[in-house]
Amino acid sequence: MSAGLCRLFFKLAVSDSHSGMRGLSNYCLSCCVNTLLQSFSATWELADLLDRWETAGVQADSHNVPLQLKKVLVAMRSDLPQPAPHLDFLHCLHRNRVPLCTQHDADEVFLSILNLIQQQMDDQTLALEIQNLYKISVETLVQCLDCSSVQTQTSYQLSLPLHIKEDDNSLEDCMTSFFEHQELRGINCCFCAQCGIKTPSKQCVKLLSLPRILCVHLKRFRNSRGGTRKLDCTVTFPETFDFSETVKEAFSADFAQNDCKYTLHAVVVHSGYAMFGHYTAYVRHRMNQRWYYADDSHVKQASWEEVKRTYGGYYRDTAYMLMYRRVSKEDGPQPEFSS
């Protein structure tokens, strides 16, 4: 790097330090992990839980993902001009089969990190609390179209994977499609215990509980003719929404939560193509509630209008993951966000 570029980088870093946010250098194609770290940092509930973790017994463990994540999130909160040190975290992921020098899918790495936290924390109570931050409990119902018997199965997922159409989409439309009934026929027929054979059926998913942090995965990558292509089509999404009003048919009869309103606090953005791209992030600051744009080591203040530019369209940056925080009455008055 030339002296001029060094001075320019330092100047940008110093100006960005006043935001209370730190960038992250790009090591060996680490932009995917960098953006996830920015979204984790904006999810203050996760950092608070990790701060409660007593790590005396794992201080020297370079393979422990939650330990290294805790260290990085602490460093990212410090108001220093240079990018936060996170090379140890990247090497730790590498030792846990999330290799460096490889392009990754952000949702897959996100789920890997959460699973590794669950596996590697010695305080399983805290590990479960972290998982519960993102845990979406669902009930799958399969009804036989011949005898009308219904089979149910409960499960959970840590992100909500939404199929998008090759056209204009809205988050509400994508959620409605996820929860509507689907008919299963032909090779997709399910075994009916009542009939004793595979029969045509209809299937739907219902919510049993919603998490504090709702991660939405917009499935923009699609297998086609032996390869993978990216869908650049538009997906609009709101800054705030009420789940109970957005998708009224999504709830199980056993759903008992009252708080279903969510506010957006992080957006993982993908630019480029399926096999050659770059990740950045928009995150909302915990204290001043302003939006910031993080592109590796460079962080700058942004606006909701800039975030909306990630709705998509040809040759444009596209939102790939949305992180929403559930607003509860205990949180007190919330700031007014722009529409």
7-63 pLDDT per residue, tens: 333 333 333 444 568 999 999 999 999 999 999 999 999 999 999 999 877 767 889
Q: The domain containing residue 20 runs over which residues?
A: 3-331
Q: Please, which residues bridge with residue 291 across strands?
A: 284, 302
Residue corresponding to tokens 């036989």 = 144
75 vs 68, 70, 72, 133, 256, CA distance in Å? 11, 9, 5, 22, 39
Catalytic residue among 31, 92, 144, 260: 31
Read off the DSSP letter of residue 59: T
Kind and range of the H or E run holding 220: none
Domain for residue 339, yes or no?
Answer: no
Q: Which residues contact 31 (CB under 8 A, 6 or more apart)?
A: 278, 279, 280, 296
Kind and range of the H or E run holding 283: strand 277-284
Is 278 noted as a catalytic residue in this protein?
Answer: yes
Residues in the chain: 339
How many distinct structural domains can be found in the chain?
A: 1
Q: Which residues contact 122 (CB under 8 A, 6 or more apart)?
A: 57, 58
Residues 305-308: contacts with CB under 8 Å, at least 24 apart? 306/282, 307/239, 307/264, 307/267, 307/282, 308/236
pLDDT for position 55: 87
Residue 131 — very low, low, confident or very high, per pLDDT cuts 50/70/90?
A: very high
Q: Which residues contact 234 (CB under 8 A, 6 or more apart)?
A: 168, 169, 311, 312, 313
Domain for residue 338, yes or no?
Answer: no
pLDDT for position 336: 52
**Cα–Cα distance between 120 and 97 in angstroms, integer?**
14
Domain for residue 165, yes or no?
Answer: yes
Domain for residue 337, yes or no?
Answer: no
Q: Which residues contact 150 (CB under 8 A, 6 or more apart)?
A: 141, 142, 143, 144
On the question of pLDDT at 89 being above 50, the answer is yes
Domain for residue 43, yes or no?
Answer: yes
On the question of pLDDT at 3 being above 70, the answer is no
On the question of pLDDT at 301 being above 80, the answer is yes
Whole-prediction pTM value?
0.90
Structural tokens at position 194: 């009542």
Residue 200: give its domain's CATH number.
3.90.70.10
**Cα–Cα distance between 231 and 167 in angstroms, integer?**
9
Catalytic residue among 94, 278, 285, 298: 278
Q: Please, which residues bridge with residue 266 across strands?
A: 283, 323
Is 190 noted as a catalytic residue in this protein?
Answer: no
- Of 32-36, 61-65, 120-124, 313-317, the least confident: 313-317
Domain for residue 336, yes or no?
Answer: no
**Cα–Cα distance between 77 and 27 in angstroms, integer?**
20
Q: Please, which residues bridge with residue 90 across strands?
A: none
Q: What is the pLDDT of residues 182-235, one digit of tens each?
A: 999 999 999 999 999 999 999 999 999 999 999 999 999 988 777 888 888 999
Radius of gyration for the alpha carbons in the chain, expressed in angstroms and rounded: 21
Structural tokens at position 127: 């590990």
3-state secondary structure of 178: helix
**Cα–Cα distance between 165 and 176 in angstroms, integer?**
13
**Cα–Cα distance between 69 and 264 in angstroms, integer?**
23
Contact by Cβ (8 Å): 106, 114: no
Domain for residue 124, yes or no?
Answer: yes
**Cα–Cα distance between 246 and 36 in angstroms, integer?**
27
Residue corresponding to tokens 């075994």 = 191
